[in-house]
Chain A
Amino acid sequence: MTATPSRHPGLNLGHAHGDAHEASEEFVFGFWVFMMSDLILFGLLFATYVTMLGGTAGGPGPGELFELKSAFIETMLLLVSSFTFGMASLALKYRTDRKVLVAWLLVTLLLGLGFLAHELYDFHKMFTEGGVPSRSGFLSAFFALVPLHGLHVTGACIWLIALLGQIAVHGLDTPTKTGLMRLAILWHFLDVVWIGIFSLVYLGGIV
C-alpha cells in the first residue's frame, strides 16, 4: 500500500496541491482545536438547558411552543447544505476549474441563508405566542442555546461570502484553499451541533 498518511482528520488536499497541502497542516489542526473549545460552549449551554427545563415559571413550555415540522425543515436545509459543502470540498480537491466549486458554494450559502430565515420566522412565531426569553428560565436557556447556533451559522455565511470574494480576487491560492478547508470543518460542526439541538431540544421537548 502506498496510501499517503492523512495530515489531519477529514478531507486532505493531497500532494497534488503542493504548498497548500503542506500549509494546511497547522491551520487545519489549529481549527480543530478551536472547534473543541467551541464545543465546550455548546456543551455547557446544552447542560444549562437541560437543568432549566423545569423552570417554566408557569409560562409556555416546549409542548406549546415547538413545532416539529418546522424544525424538521430546518434540519433538512442544514443537512443538505452539509452535503453540498462536501461536494464543494471534493470539487476543490479534484477539479481544476473553479466554476463547479463556486456553484456548490453558492448552493450551500443559499441553503444556509434559508435555514437562518426559517429559524428567524420560527422565533418570531414563538415571540407572538408569548415565548420570549424574559418570560422564564426555560425560555432563557432556549434562547441562549439555539440562537448561539444561529449566530454561528450567520458567521459561517459571512465567512463563506468573504471566501467567495477571495476566490474572485486572488483565485484559488493557498490561503483561499486553507480557508475553505477550515470553513468546511465549521460548517459540518454546526450540523452536528444542530443534530444535537434537534434531538434534545425539539424531539426531547415534544416527547
Chain B
Amino acid sequence: MNHWAEWLLGRLDWSALPFWDAIVDPTTKNIVNAIIASGAGAMVILGGLIAIGVLTWTRRWRWLWSEWLTSPDHKKIGIMFIVIALVMLARAVIEAVFMRLQQAVGLGGGFLTAEHFGQLFTTHGTIMVFFMAMPFLTGIINYVMPLQIGTRDLSFPVMNSVSLGLTAAGAALVMVSLILAPFSTGGWSGYPSFTESAANPGAGVDYWIWAVTLSTLSSTLTGINFAVTIYKKRAPGMSWFRLPLFTWTALCTAILMIFGMPPLTVATALLALDRYLDFHFFTADLGGNMMNYVNLFWAFGHPEVYILILPAFGIFSEIFSTFSGKKLYGYGALVIATMAIAVLSFTVWLHHFFTMGQSAHINAIFGIATMLIGIPTGVKVYDWMLTMFRGRIRFAVPMIYAVGFIILFAIGGLTGIILAVPSVDYQIHNSLFLVAHFHNMLIPGLLFGMLGGTNFWFPKAFGFRLEERWGRRAALCWIVGFMLAFFPLYALGVLGMPRRSAAFFEPAYLPWTLAAAVGALIILLAMLLLLIQLWVSIRDRDTNRVPAGDPWDGRSLEWSVSAPPPEYNFPVIPEVHSRDAYMRQKENGRGAHPRPDEYTDIVMPANSAMGPIMAATGFLIAFGLTWYEWWLVAAAGIVSLIALVARGYVRQRTRTIPAQTVRREHEAWLERVSRIRPVSRREEQTPANQGLAMSPLEGAIQ
C-alpha cells in the first residue's frame, strides 16, 4: 500500500499543504502565515470552482472549446494571453502588498516568516516577468500586429495556440504551488548554489524551474511566429519603412525572443540536470562553476529587459501620435533607435553582476556599454515630446498613462545611469535602490504601456469603449501609487537596506517603509479601479459602442476594419501606399471605407486541439517532474509525442469562407457605417462617438 502511494504520488505528502507547519508547530507566527497561505490556496480553488460552475451553469463548455481554446485566430489567442496576464497581475500585486506591509512592520520581525517572505518575492518576480509581462505583451502584439500589417493571421496559427498553451501551463503550475506548497525561495533569478539540491532539496525550486522553462519555450515559439509573420505576410505595399512603429518594436521584440530565450532554457535545464541527475554544473564542489549560471541567466536577462520594454515603446508611439493628432515625429530615428537598443541589449549583461569578481577593466567596458543604451532611449523620449509639441493633445486614458510614463521613465533611466557606474554599483548593489530602479523602469515602462494599450485597442477588440472616468482614476492611482511605493525605496537603498529583507533592525528605515506601504495600498486601489472600470464598461457597453471601428481617428490599418473585426480581419487585403496608411486613405478623399470591387474566397486556418493538448501535457510533465511522479511524466510525454506525430498526418488544416459570405457581412457593415454620424475629436468621449472620425475635409479638429 505504502509502496503504491509512493509510486503514485512521488514525494508529495501531507507536508505540501499550506497549513501543515501550523499543525506541526503551532506558534503564533506559523498560524498567521498558515492563514495567509491557506487563504491564497483557497482563493485558487474557489476561483477554479466558480469558473467551472459558471461554465456549466451557462452551458458554455462546448463554446469555450470550439470558439476559444482550439481557435487558431490570432485575435482570440491574443485576448486569452491578456486574460492570463491580468489574473496573474492581480495575484502578484497582492503579493507585493503583503511584502510592503511586512516591511512596514518589519522593524525587528513583522508577521511573515522568512520562508514565506522568500516565497512571496520569488513568485512575485517570477509571475510579473514570465506570467504577467510576457503574456501581456505577447497578447497585445498577437492582437494588433497582424491587423497593422494587413494580414489575416500569423504564419503559424496552430503553433501560436501551442505557445498560449505552454504559457497557460506554466501559469497554472505557479498557481497550483499555492495549494501544494512550497514554491522556490530563490528569487526570480534562482541563483545557485542556493537553488542546488544540497541547500534546497524540496519541490520549490523544481516548481520554479519548470514553470520558467514552459514560459521560455512558449516565448521562443512566439518570437519565431511573430518574426516570420512580419517578414513574410505584410500586405502589398507595406514596405519596411511604412510599418507602424508598434510593428517595428514587435519585430525587434521577436528577434530578441529568438536569441534571448535560449540562454534561459539552457540555464534552467542545466540547473535541472544538477538537481535531478546529480550533474555538477553550478555546485560548489567537483568542478562546478556557479558563475556560468549567472552569465547564462543574464545573457537571457538583459535582452529580456528590452523584450519587456520595446513593445511598450511601440504602444506609446502610437498613443502619442494618435492623441496629439499628428504624425509621429522622427519615425526613422525611432526605428533606428529601436534596432540599436535591440542590438546593444546583448552587450550589457555583465552589469547585473559588477561585484562578482571581474577585473575593473571588464566592469568599465560593460558600464560604458550600459550607458550607451541611454542614447537611443533618449532619442525616443525627445521624439515623443516633439510628437506632442504643437499637437492638439487629448488627455484620454491612454494619454494619461503615456505622459505618466515619459516623466517617470526618464527618472528611472537616470537612476539606471547611476547604477551603470561600477564603483557606485559597489555601494548600492543588492539594495532597495536597485529594486526601486527596475520597478521604476518596468511599471511606467511596461505596465503603463500595456494598460494604455489596453485602453487604446479595447474598443477595437470588443466593439465598445472603456469607461473614461474610472479609467482616469485608475491611471492616476497607478501613477501616484507607484511614486509613493517606490521613490522611498531609493532612499532606503542609499541608507543601506538590502533587498529581499524579511526584517530589519534600523529604526531610520521605518518612515520610508511606512510610506512605501501606503503606496502599495494605493496600487492595490488602482487594481480595484481597473476592475470597476471593466465592470462599468461592460454594464454600459450599449452606450459606448463603436461599430465603425475608428474611435480615436487612428492612423494605421487596424482602425480601418469593423470593431470587433471579422475573423478574417480584412474582407479584401488592403494595398498600402504610404506610412500611416489609414490616415492617408482618410485624407486623400478615397474615403475611410471604400467599397471593394470584388470579393474572393478566404482560406482560414482550421481549429486544432494541439494547443490544449500541449497545455495539458506540458502541465502534467512539469507537475510530475516537480513531485517525482515518473509515471505521470512518462505518460504525458508519450501523449504529447503521439499528438505531435499525429498532427503531421492531419490534412484538413484550413477551411474556406465563401466570397458570398464575405460580401454579405462586409456590405451589411458598410451599410451600418453609412448611417453613423462622423464625430469631431471634441465628441470623442461621448456616446456620439460610434467609431467614425470626421474627415479633415469636413473640418475635423486635428
**Interface set of A (CB-CB < 8 Å, partner B):** 25-26, 29-30, 33-34, 36-38, 40-41, 44-45, 48, 51-52, 54-57, 59, 133-141, 143-144, 158, 162-163, 165-166, 169-170, 173, 175, 179
Contacts and interface: CB of A to CB of B under 8 A. Distances in A.
Contacts of A59: 286-287
7 contacts: A33-B228, A44-B299, A57-B287, A135-B286, A136-B280, A144-B279, A166-B649
Contact of A137 (B261, B286, B645, B653): B286
Contacts of B224: 30, 33-34, 37
Nearest to A175: B651
Interface string B646-659: 00110101000000
B266 A162 contact: no
A179 B223 CA distance: 21
Interface of B: 155-156, 220, 223-225, 227-228, 231-233, 258-259, 261-263, 265-266, 269-270, 273-274, 277-281, 283, 285-289, 292, 296, 299, 641, 645, 648-649, 651, 653
A59 B279 CA distance: 14
B287 A52 contact: yes
B259 A37 contact: yes
Contacts of B156: 26, 30
A163 B278 CA distance: 37
Given A44-B266, A48-B281, A137-B288, A37 B261 contact: yes
A57 B289 CA distance: 12
A29 B228 contact: yes
A57 B288 CA distance: 9
Contacts of B270: 48, 144
B262 A44 contact: yes
B280 A140 contact: yes
A150 to B, nearest CB: 15
Contact of B232 (A29, A34, A173): A29
A41 B287 contact: no
Residue in B220, B225, B648, B649 with the greatest tally of chain A CB atoms within 10 Å = B648
Nearest to B228: A30
A137 B280 contact: yes
A143 B289 CA distance: 16
A48 B273 contact: no
A144 B665 CA distance: 56
A173 to B, nearest CB: 7
B289 A26 contact: no
A144 B262 contact: no
Given A134-B278, A135-B286, A48 B651 contact: no
A37 B258 contact: yes
Given A48-B270, A140-B281, A141-B281, A36 B289 contact: no
B292 A136 contact: no
Contacts of B220: 37
The 8 closest A-B pairs by CB, nearest first: A55-B287, A137-B287, A40-B262, A140-B279, A134-B278, A57-B287, A57-B286, A30-B228
A26 B262 contact: no
Contacts of B288: 55, 137, 140
Given A33-B224, A133-B278, A26 B273 contact: no
Contacts of A136: 280, 286-287
A29 B231 contact: yes
A38 B223 CA distance: 13
B691 to A, nearest CB: 33
B164 to A, nearest CB: 18
A162 B642 CA distance: 10
B595 to A, nearest CB: 30
Given A25-B232, A52-B287, A173 B651 contact: yes
Contacts of A41: 262, 265-266
B223 to A, nearest CB: 8
Contacts of A139: 280
B353 to A, nearest CB: 16
A158 B645 contact: yes
Nearest to A148: B269
Nearest to B296: A44
Nearest to A161: B645
Given A29-B231, A140-B280, 5 more contacts: A41-B266, A134-B279, A135-B280, A162-B648, A175-B653
Residue in A41, A59, A169 with the greatest tally of chain B CB atoms within 10 Å = A41
Contact of B289 (A51, A166, A173): A51
A165 B649 contact: yes
Given A30-B224, A51-B292, A36 B259 contact: yes
Contact of A133 (B231, B265, B277, B292): B277
Residue in B223, B263, B280 with the greatest tally of chain A CB atoms within 10 Å = B280
Residue in B266, B274, B287, B648 with the greatest tally of chain A CB atoms within 10 Å = B287
A170 B651 contact: yes
Nearest to B266: A44
B299 to A, nearest CB: 7
A158 B292 CA distance: 33
A138 B223 CA distance: 33
Given A37-B261, A136-B287, A169 B278 contact: no
Contacts of A134: 277-280, 286
B552 to A, nearest CB: 33
Contact of A52 (B225, B258, B262, B289): B289
Nearest to A32: B228
B454 to A, nearest CB: 29
A40 B259 contact: yes
Contacts of B265: 41
A33 to B, nearest CB: 5
Residue in B258, B266, B288 with the greatest tally of chain A CB atoms within 10 Å = B266
A48 B281 CA distance: 9
Nearest to A133: B279
A57 B285 CA distance: 8
Contacts of B227: 33
Contacts of B299: 44
Contacts of B296: 44, 48
Nearest to B258: A37
A33 B220 CA distance: 10
B280 A26 contact: no
Contacts of A56: 287
A98 B5 CA distance: 53
A86 B623 CA distance: 42
Contacts of A144: 269-270, 273, 279, 281
A189 B259 CA distance: 17
A163 B283 CA distance: 42
A170 B649 contact: yes
A29 to B, nearest CB: 6
Contacts of A143: 279
A38 B262 CA distance: 7
Nearest to B225: A30
Contacts of A52: 281, 287, 289, 292
A160 to B, nearest CB: 11
A163 B336 CA distance: 43
A37 B262 contact: yes
B273 A140 contact: yes
Contacts of B262: 37-38, 40-41, 44
A151 to B, nearest CB: 11
A138 B155 contact: no
Contacts of B232: 25-26, 29
A166 B648 contact: yes
A59 B228 CA distance: 47
A139 B274 CA distance: 12
B574 to A, nearest CB: 20
B243 to A, nearest CB: 18
Contacts of B228: 26, 29-30, 33
B228 to A, nearest CB: 4
A159 to B, nearest CB: 8
Nearest to B281: A140
